[in-house]
Amino acid sequence: MSKRLLLIPLALLLVFSLVAVSCDGDADVTTTPPPTETTVPPPDDYDTRTSIVIGAARPISGPLNMIGDYALGPLLDIWVDQINAAGGLYIDEYDRALPVELIIYDDTSDLGTMTTLLERLILEDQVDFIMPPCSTAFLYAAAPIANEHGYIFLGGEGGCTTLTALLPDLPYVFGVLNYSDYHQIPALADLFVEWGVETVAYIYIADLHGIEYAHTSESEFLLRGIQVVYSEGVPPEAVDLTPQLQAAMNSGADAFCAYTYPPISIFVYGQAMGLGYNPDVFVIGPGANFQFYYAAFGPMTEGLIGFGAWNRQTSPEANALVDLMVAATGDAGLALYGDEEGFLDWWGQLFYYGALQFFEQAIVEAGTLDQAVIRGVMATSTFDTCLGPTWFDMRDGGGGLLALECHPGQVGQWQNGIYEVIGPAANATADAIYPKPPFPAP
Amino acid sequence: MQYLLTSICSLCMVYSGWFIDRLLGKEKRGKWLTSGVLLLTLALVATLPVYGTSYAPILMTTIILYIILAVSWTMFSGPTGYMSLATAAFFGVGIYTAAFMAGDFPPPVFILVGGAASFILALGVGALTLRLRGIYFAIFTFGLVELIRHVLAFIELHVTGTRGRFVFGVDNETIFYYMLGVFVLLMITAYFLNRSKFGLALRSIGEYEAAAAHTGVNVTMVKIVTFAVSAFFMGAVGAIWATKLHYVDPGIAFNPLFTFIPVLMAIFGGMGLLYGPIIGAAFFTLLKEFLTTTLAKYGLGELYMLFFGVILVAAILFMPNGVVGVIQRLTQKWRKGGPVEEHADT
Sorted by sequence, the CB contacts under 8 Å of residue A306 that are 6+ apart come out as A283, A284, A285, A286, A287, A288, A289, A293, A346, A347, A411, A412, A413, A414, A419
> Roughly how many angstroms between the first and final C-alpha of chain B, as a whole number?
33
Domain A52-177+347-406 classified CATH 3.40.50.2300?
yes
Residues of chain A in contact with residue B54, where contact means CB-CB under 8 angstroms, are 123-124
A356 or B169, which is more confident? A356
Spatial contact of B69 and B281, defined as CB atoms under 8 Å apart? yes
Say which residue, A417 or B312, is predicted with more confidence: A417
By C-alpha distance, the chain B residue nearest A110 is: B252
Q: What is the pLDDT of residue B282?
A: 96
Q: How far apart are the C-alpha atoms of B153 and B160, rounded to whole Å?
A: 10
Nearest-neighbour CA in chain B from A124: distance (Å): 5
Domain ranges of chain A: 52-177+347-406, 184-309+409-427
* Gap between the Cα atoms of A98 and A84, Å rounded: 8
pLDDT score, position A401: 97
Q: Which of A27, A145, A206 sits opposite B106 (nearest CB)?
A: A27
Q: Where are the domains of chain B?
A: 58-334
Mutate which of A18, A60, A102, A219 to disrupt the B interface (most B C-beta within 10 Å)? A60
**Which of the two residues, B308 and B91, has the higher pLDDT score?**
B91
Of B23, B177, B305, the CB nearest to A5: B23
How far away is chain B from the Cα of A140, in angstroms, using its nearest Cα? 7
pLDDT, position B315: 87
Cα(A207)–Cα(A174) distance, rounded to whole angstroms?
22
> How many Å lie between the alpha carbon of A59 and the closest alpha carbon of chain B?
9
Distance CA A332, CA A79 (A): 18
Q: Residue A2: its pLDDT value, please?
A: 45
B145 close to A (CB below 8 A): no
Along the 442 residues of chain A, how does pLDDT read in single tens digits?
A: 444 444 444 444 444 444 443 443 333 334 455 555 556 567 999 999 999 999 999 998 888 888 888 999 999 999 999 999 999 999 999 999 999 999 999 998 999 999 999 999 999 999 999 999 999 889 999 999 999 999 999 999 998 888 888 899 999 999 999 999 999 999 999 999 999 999 999 999 888 888 889 999 999 999 999 999 999 988 888 899 999 999 999 999 999 999 999 889 999 999 999 999 999 999 998 999 999 999 999 999 999 999 999 999 999 999 999 999 999 999 999 999 999 999 999 999 999 999 999 999 999 999 999 999 999 999 999 999 999 999 999 998 899 999 999 999 999 999 999 999 999 999 999 999 999 999 998 7
- Percentage of residues of chain B with pLDDT beyond 70: 94
Side by side, the strands of the sheet bearing A100-106 are A100-106, A52-58, A129-131
Cβ separation B171–A233 shorter than 8 A: no
Query: From CA B53, how far away is CA B158, in angstroms rounded?
Result: 45
Question: Which residue, among A183, A247, B58, has the nearest Cα to A258 in the 3D structure?
Answer: A247
Residue B256 forms contact with A (CB below 8 Å):
no
What chain B residue is nearest to A149 in terms of C-alpha separation?
B171
What chain B residue is nearest to A115 in terms of C-alpha separation?
Answer: B245
Residue of A nearest to B146 (CA): A235
Does domain B58-334 correspond to CATH entry 3.40.50?
A: no
What are φ and ψ of residue A13, in 5° steps? -60, -45
Name the residue among B53, B55, B301 with its Cβ closest to that of A60: B301
What is the full DSSP assignment across B104-153? Answer: TS-HHHHHHHHHHHHHHHHHHHHHHHTT--HHHHHHHHHHHHHHHHHHHH
Amino acid residing at A171? P
Q: Is A16's CB within 8 Å of B184's CB?
A: yes
**pLDDT band of B28, cuts 50, 70, 90:** low
Amino acid at A332: A
CB B169 to CB A208 under 8 A? no
Q: Residues 202 to 261 of A: which have CB under 8 A from any B CB?
A: 206-208, 211-212, 215, 233, 235-236
DSSP strands (E only) in A92-187 = 96-98, 100-106, 129-131, 153-154, 173-175
Q: Mean pLDDT, to the nearest integer, of B174-181?
A: 97
- Average pLDDT for B167-183: 94
In this prediction, residue B346 carries a pLDDT of 44
- The larger pLDDT score, comparing residue A381 to residue B328, is at A381
> What mean pLDDT is predicted for residues B289-318?
83
DSSP H helices, chain B, are: 2-24, 31-46, 48-51, 56-80, 87-101, 107-129, 134-154, 172-195, 197-207, 209-214, 219-245, 250-253, 257-269, 275-289, 304-318, 322-334
Question: Nearest residue of A to residue B243 by CA position?
Answer: A27
Q: How confident is the model at residue B22 (pLDDT cuts 50, 70, 90)?
A: confident
Q: CB of B100 within 8 Å of any CB in chain A?
A: no
- Interchain CB contact of A13 with B (< 8 Å): yes
Question: Per the CB < 8 Å rule, is B177 touching A145?
Answer: no
B337 pLDDT band (50/70/90 cuts)? low
Q: How much is the ipTM here? A: 0.87
Which residues 102-141 of A have a C-beta within 8 angstroms of B? 103-108, 110-113, 115-117, 119-120, 123-124, 137, 140-141
pLDDT tens digits, one per residue of B92-147: 999 999 999 998 999 999 999 999 999 999 999 999 887 777 788 899 999 999 99
Residues 303-322, chain B, touching A (beta carbon < 8 A)? 304-305
Q: How far is CA B250 from the centre of its chain?
A: 21
Nearest to A211 among B157, B169, B241 (CB): B157
pLDDT reported for residue A211: 87
- The CATH number for A184-309+409-427, chosen from 3.20.20.80, 3.10.180.10, 3.40.50.2300, 2.60.40.10, is 3.40.50.2300
* Element counts in chain A: helices (H) and strands (E): 14, 18
B40 in reach of chain A (CB within 8 A): no
Domains A52-177+347-406 and A184-309+409-427 belong to one CATH topology: yes
Are B202 and B79 a contacting pair, CB within 8 Å?
A: yes
Nearest chain A alpha carbon to B245:
A112
Residue in A116, A124, A207 closest to B54 by CB: A124
User: Whole-model pTM above 0.90?
Assistant: no
Test A9 with B247 for CB contact under 8 angstroms.
Answer: no
